[in-house]
A and B are shown apart, each in its own frame.
Chain A
Amino acid sequence: MRFLIKGGTIVDPVAETLTESDVLVANGLIVETGKELKDPEAAVIDATGRYVCPGLLDMHVHLREPGYEYKEDIQSGTRAAAMGGFTAVACMPNTNPVADNAAVISFIKQKARHAAVGVYPIGALTKGSQGKELTEMADLKAAGAVALSDDGQPVMDAGTMYRVMQYAAMLGLTVISHCEDLSLAAGGQMHEGAVSTMLGLKGIPAAAEEVMVARDILLAEATGCRLHLAHISTEGSVRLIREAKARGIKVTAEVTPHHFTLTDEAVQGFNTNAKVNPPLRRQADVEAVKEGLRDGTIDVIATDHAPHAYYEKDVEFQYAPNGLVGLETAVGLVFTRLVQPGILTVPQAVAKLSWHPRQVLGLPGGRLTPGAVADITVIDPNLSEVVDPAKLQSKSKNTPFARWKLTGLPVMTMVNGNIVMQERRLLV
């Protein structure tokens, strides 16, 4: 199948350029870019007024399979990704069983062959993500794990984390750290501050995250391991990462759309869809992560897509699980909250959604150059939509953005030269 994407603006996240150019795709590869391209056999896709971007990659999702298929599975999760403009996702290992061995990684890879978008599994750091014994990291890598993480289950013991990083560094694997000191966060339900005081909910202080960010930066420095800090949420964390980068430590960081958009005020009324870990923080923290995105301290935007069944969130606040679905609202939030207010340029925003996560994970792609795999996302910066949870492709509907109007939406997702989403409709 041949496609000619005509009249759009190509986004180059590396050169940070916007170029009016057509793109010709054939046999799953990008053949040519340039003005006024012609190909009589190609199906023409009009991209006038739209951004033609390298395929977006969400490096932090929970696909829930195996084990929690009632929340999400690889099929439904990747359909949500396609709808959200992502051509690939990296999935966290907190499944049941935990992806702490090659068999589970292989299972995910096999299931993903029929998925709507590419799936890159992340393996566990420790067996059962219990924070004690190292996993067979070389075996995980050979099976296809692109990085390692005990996401959601922070490695509390510094000695264990030190050895994890030494071993991962030997194998050239990135360690993704969910920074949360459990002794500080213990039993916490939301950010510790005025709102938690008013609602009588136990707070999670900013220090619970920052203590671990500081620890893991020091361990990365000591071991030379490549460290990626997941879902950074506080002003202090941004400052620590900025200082670490200035000192030349191999650390990268991500922020979620909900952490650059919402504050702890979203929890008022005991809204369980705003219950997430790390918790939604203060306005000053939101401003700090936006500044971190702007000045390059924060490299990646990732969703931490965390589906939960309706009935799991339809309970008293403290009994509800943490997490929210993010794949289908991410691009809209990036454009509405970061690009339109001028915090990020379009190439910078696209870099944080495509080029940088690929660099962190050591994956190819991320630029629309001839010969590259045709993973392409087309975004219409002027298209608006009101978020309707019932229409989400994800099995779960736990979004705090219901009824939000978002402007700047993906209108085509192409994976390996096949269109999986076009004009806001799934084709898979």
Chain B
Amino acid sequence: MFWQRKDLLGLRQLTPEEINLVLDTAVPMKEIIGRKIKKTPTLRGRSVVTLFYENSTRTRSSFELAAKFLSADTVGLSASGSSVAKGESLRDTGLTLTAMGVDVVVMRHPASGAAEYLARCIPAAVINAGDGTHEHPTQALLDMFTIREKKGSLAGLKVAIVGDILHSRVARSNIWGLTKMGAEVRVVGPATLLPPDIEQMGARVYTEVEAALEGVDVVNVLRIQLERQQQGLFPSLREYSRLFGINQKRLELTAPDALIMHPGPMNRGVEIDPQVAYGNRSVINEQVTNGVAVRMALLYLLTGGEHNAISH
């Protein structure tokens, strides 16, 4: 099967076959990252812009390294210090980049739907690196890659996503992706941080963490932001940690070999106990490596990868 889409905007639209294609393509990419000389000429002469309207350390550097490992030329633009700060519209910024000959725009943006909007405006490929509280498809793909690598398959697994589901684009993309691949997804968090009718996306909803963790194969712990407490969405980090924090005791409820994941950055001692974060079931650092591999795969596929030679 070949990649047909111009863009990667979210996992909602993807078929299981497309998800498998990305994950399969990421396998040889991961092998490249493990080499001493991390460079292939695959994307030589291609240009990738990372356009970030929100601060990000890991996603941005992950994309830039992915592009560089494939020999693409990269330019990074941030909301400050560019035309963005002068109030230029997203359409005009996109058209300007297009006129400069960019092949792929990787964008992070605080507004839900911004990537889909940009993709309609420009002929270049758009990769959504997180749009508002809508989707973060590359994070979900790297999560799925990590789970598949450890568990062999996604079908039939039980995955619990814990925390602020309401504001989480990571949760949404994971729900779409994992349910398409035949996994069961449970979401758990305070009632004020669970979006309404989320069961219509295919997730099972819990407000009691013990019930949600019962027998799961994967626990994906989301970052809780202090800002949400200030907005009155939960009373205190103390109470949050007591009710929803993932610690050793709670891990006893999961399947014995359950994986612990976190998209980062972590608030150690709040949503996750350091013992758990650095414990033998944690795959948090591998997620980061796999993120580069998955992003290499996507850059490769979106620039017409099926015509290039790649060693499988």
Determine whether the beta carbon of A270 is less than 8 Å from that of B195: no
Determine whether the beta carbon of A314 is less than 8 Å from that of B134: no
Which of chain B's residues 156-172 have a Cβ closer than 8 Å to chain A? 169, 172
Stretch at the interface among A22-30, A195-203, A369-377: A195-203
In the complex, whether A404 has a CB less than 8 A from a CB of chain B is no
Which of chain A's residues 195-220 have a Cβ closer than 8 Å to chain B? 196-203
**Residues of chain A with a CB closer than 8 A to B112's CB:** 189, 199-201, 270, 317-318
Report the nearest A residue to B133, measured CB to CB: A200
Encode A343-357 as 1/0 by CB contact (under 8 A) with B: 000000000000000
**Residues of chain A with a CB closer than 8 A to B113's CB:** 199-201, 270, 316-318
Determine whether the beta carbon of B131 is less than 8 Å from that of A200: yes
Interface size on B, as a range, is 20 to 34
Question: What residues of chain B have their CB less than 8 Å away from a CB belonging to chain A?
Answer: 12, 89-91, 109, 111-114, 116-117, 131-135, 169, 172, 195-198, 200-201
Determine whether the beta carbon of B172 is less than 8 Å from that of A314: no
Q: How far is the CA of A196 from the CA of B133 in the complex (A)?
A: 10
In the assembled complex, the CB of A310 is this many whole angstroms from the nearest CB of chain B, namely: 11
Contact A316 B90, CB 8 Å, known A198-B12, A270-B113, A270-B117 = yes
**Residues of chain B with a CB closer than 8 A to A196's CB:** 195-196
**Residues of chain A with a CB closer than 8 A to B133's CB:** 200-202
Q: How far is the CA of A316 from the CA of B201 in the complex (A)?
A: 23
Determine whether the beta carbon of A194 is less than 8 Å from that of B197: yes
Contact A197 B134, CB 8 Å, known A270-B117, A317-B111 = no
Question: What residues of chain A have their CB less than 8 Å away from a CB belonging to chain B?
Answer: 189, 192-194, 196-203, 269-270, 311, 314-319
4 shortest A-B CB distances, which residue pairs?
A200-B134, A270-B113, A194-B197, A200-B133
Contact A200 B132, CB 8 Å, known A314-B91, A317-B112 = yes
In the assembled complex, the CB of B14 is this many whole angstroms from the nearest CB of chain A, namely: 15
Q: How far is the CA of A201 from the CA of B131 in the complex (A)?
A: 10
Determine whether the beta carbon of B195 is less than 8 Å from that of A197: yes
Contact A315 B196, CB 8 Å, known A198-B12, A200-B169, A270-B113 = no
**Residues of chain B with a CB closer than 8 A to A202's CB:** 133
In the assembled complex, the CB of A109 is this many whole angstroms from the nearest CB of chain B, namely: 37
Determine whether the beta carbon of A197 is less than 8 Å from that of B114: no
Determine whether the beta carbon of B111 is less than 8 Å from that of A318: yes
Contact A317 B169, CB 8 Å, known A192-B196, A197-B200, A198-B201 = no
Determine whether the beta carbon of A270 is less than 8 Å from that of B116: yes
**Residues of chain B with a CB closer than 8 A to A269's CB:** 116
**Residues of chain B with a CB closer than 8 A to A270's CB:** 112-113, 116-117
Q: How far is the CA of A270 from the CA of B200 in the complex (A)?
A: 19
Most buried by B among A197, A199, A202, A203: A197
Determine whether the beta carbon of B90 is less than 8 Å from that of A315: yes
Determine whether the beta carbon of A197 is less than 8 Å from that of B198: yes
Q: How far is the CA of A270 from the CA of B196 in the complex (A)?
A: 19
Determine whether the beta carbon of B89 is less than 8 Å from that of A194: no
Determine whether the beta carbon of A316 is less than 8 Å from that of B195: no
For A199, give its contact among B134, B198, B200 (CB under 8 Å).
Answer: B134
**14 A-B residue pairs with CB within 8 Å:** A193-B197, A198-B12, A198-B200, A199-B113, A200-B131, A200-B134, A201-B132, A203-B196, A270-B116, A311-B89, A315-B90, A315-B117, A316-B90, A317-B112
For A318, give its contact among B91, B132, B195 (CB under 8 Å).
Answer: B132
Report the nearest A residue to B114, measured CB to CB: A316
**Residues of chain B with a CB closer than 8 A to A311's CB:** 89
Report the nearest A residue to B113, measured CB to CB: A270
For A316, give its contact among B109, B169, B196, B198 (CB under 8 Å).
Answer: B109
Report the nearest B residue to A205, measured CB to CB: B196
**Residues of chain A with a CB closer than 8 A to B12's CB:** 198
In the assembled complex, the CB of B26 is this many whole angstroms from the nearest CB of chain A, namely: 25
In the assembled complex, the CB of B59 is this many whole angstroms from the nearest CB of chain A, namely: 17
In the assembled complex, the CB of A345 is this many whole angstroms from the nearest CB of chain B, namely: 36
Determine whether the beta carbon of A200 is less than 8 Å from that of B172: yes
Given A314-B89, A318-B132, output 12 extra A-B contacts at Cβ < 8 Å: A193-B196, A194-B200, A194-B201, A196-B195, A200-B113, A200-B135, A270-B113, A270-B116, A311-B89, A316-B109, A316-B113, A317-B113
In the assembled complex, the CB of B194 is this many whole angstroms from the nearest CB of chain A, namely: 9
Q: How far is the CA of A143 from the CA of B109 in the complex (A)?
A: 49
Determine whether the beta carbon of B117 is less than 8 Å from that of A317: yes
In the assembled complex, the CB of A318 is this many whole angstroms from the nearest CB of chain B, namely: 5
Q: How far is the CA of A226 from the CA of B89 in the complex (A)?
A: 45
In the assembled complex, the CB of B164 is this many whole angstroms from the nearest CB of chain A, namely: 13
Determine whether the beta carbon of A316 is less than 8 Å from that of B197: no
Determine whether the beta carbon of A197 is less than 8 Å from that of B89: no
**Residues of chain B with a CB closer than 8 A to A203's CB:** 195-196
Q: How far is the CA of A157 from the CA of B90 in the complex (A)?
A: 38
In the assembled complex, the CB of B25 is this many whole angstroms from the nearest CB of chain A, namely: 27
In the assembled complex, the CB of B107 is this many whole angstroms from the nearest CB of chain A, namely: 11
